[in-house]
Structure 1
């Protein structure tokens, strides 16, 4: 089965951990993840500026490692990211900001990428959010 996964909550939220464990289990079960889409507060999961307390799981790091090691399409909503100060090099230069906190494996893009993933996938699975 082809899955698109959307994450609406920040890395420290329980739903982010559930989403990651679901994605790991889906791949282990032979399913395909056509795209991971991080939206609303989910964009914080892609930020390199998150510092996790020593006694907690570093889910932002685990997400990046998961996306990289499985060569997945990890898309971060550009509008939500800009609103929350999650910037790659190009957007930081465009808006004259010094902070660059979004690096590979993440890609900034619009909601069209979510729509495309929904059209390609058999199922859209959403975690967190409204």
Structure 2
């Protein structure tokens, strides 16, 4: 079965992102596939390269990146939500004349069309956070 996951929760403000990560791992371990993980609303903070959790807390950014590398996952961040919250790719930072970019490697910016496409091409769409 093919899944798309939508993450609305910021990495350390709710359990949504951590639950989505555990769910993704369980899906893959069970032989299912993940078409796309789409980060929306405050969930876009999962893709900020500037996140620096304390040593005694989970590094959700690093764990998402590792999962992406291990399984070639499509980690997509809503570009409109990201711009509003200050998570920018190098090209967006240049286009908007901002001094720096902070989109983490392994994540890409895209529009809501990518979410609609993923929903159409997946057997299940599961959301996390609120």
Q: TM-score range by the shorter chain?
A: over 0.9
* Distance in structure 2 (CA, Å) of the matches to 1:25 and 1:112: 27
Structure 2: gaps spanning 5 or more residues: none
The answer to whether residue 79 in structure 2 is matched with residue 78 in structure 1 is: yes
Deviations 1:31-56 (A, max 9, x none): 01000000001110000001101111
The answer to whether residue 17 in structure 2 is matched with residue 16 in structure 1 is: yes
Q: Which residue of 2 aligns with 1:6?
A: 6
Aligned-CA RMSD value:
0.8
Q: Which residue of 1 aligns with 2:98?
A: 97
Alignment of 1:18-57 (within 5 A): 18-57=19-58
TM-score by length of 2: 0.96
Q: How much has 1:103 moved relative to structure 2?
A: 3.6
* Distance in structure 2 (CA, Å) of the matches to 1:113 and 1:34: 11
Structure 1: gaps spanning 5 or more residues: none
